[in-house]
Amino acid sequence: MSGRTKMKSTFKLKNVQRALLAAGLIAATTGALASSTVSTSFQVQANVNAQCSISAVNLTFPTVDPLSSQTDGATTVTVKCTKNSAYTVGLNAGTTTGSTIAQRLMANGADLMDYNLYTDIGRTSIWGNSAGSWVSGTGAGMGTAQVLNVYGRVAAGQTNLAVGTFTEPTVTVTVTY
């Protein structure tokens, strides 16, 4: 090999080595840049509104004997409210003409029968629809039913009751939350 060819080969080899070295540095720098990260964060939030649902079972008293003592019956009201929601449940007087919270009435035509609804099994606290006469509670979650007992009593001493079925078609149950 002549001196000139050897020098050309050495020059070309050095240029190739320099080019490879430069390419390696560029690749290393690009790799370092590609692995850099920047981060941030964000918050996730959801509000839950208070909700309640309510259902009730009809109250059917046993047969009333006008010559004996009072006649008792019971039913239930079921409340489902969002967890930790305060609520009250009230019962109105019904729709029979003359009916009040203090003295509810059922009718059989023009004949009336006295009865009432209570919050306690001893039937001493009348269940109404105002402060002091309603039932209060705290929701346990919409999937958890809270069953409230409604205690009824047909008053004794109603000796002029007509034979037949007495009804109160609509006692409205209201849940306030």
10-residue mean pLDDT profile of the chain (177 residues): values are: 53 62 58 79 97 98 93 98 98 98 97 98 98 96 97 96 97 98
Residue 2 included in any domain? no
Look at residue 8 in the predicted model and tell me its pLDDT.
53
Residue 138 included in any domain? yes
Look at residue 123 in the predicted model and tell me its pLDDT.
98
Structurally, how many domains does the chain consist of? 1
Residue 103 included in any domain? yes
Residue 172 included in any domain? yes
pTM: 0.77
DSSP β-ladder status, 146-154 and 173-176: unpaired
- The CATH number that applies at residue 169 is 2.60.40.1090
Residue 165 included in any domain? yes
Look at residue 35 in the predicted model and tell me its pLDDT.
87
Q: Distance (Å, rounded) from C-alpha 136 to C-alpha 173?
A: 13
Look at residue 53 in the predicted model and tell me its pLDDT.
98
Q: In whole angstroms, how far apart are CA 137 and each of 48, 134, 142, 148?
A: 19, 10, 14, 10
Look at residue 173 in the predicted model and tell me its pLDDT.
98
Look at residue 30 in the predicted model and tell me its pLDDT.
52
Residue 46 included in any domain? no
Look at residue 17 in the predicted model and tell me its pLDDT.
66
Q: Are 71 and 38 in contact (CB under 8 A)?
A: no
Residue 12 included in any domain? no
Structural domain that includes position 56: 52-176
In sequence order, which residues have a C-beta less than 8 Å from that of residue 133 and are 6 or more positions away? 90, 101, 119, 125, 126, 127
Look at residue 119 in the predicted model and tell me its pLDDT.
98
Residue 166 included in any domain? yes
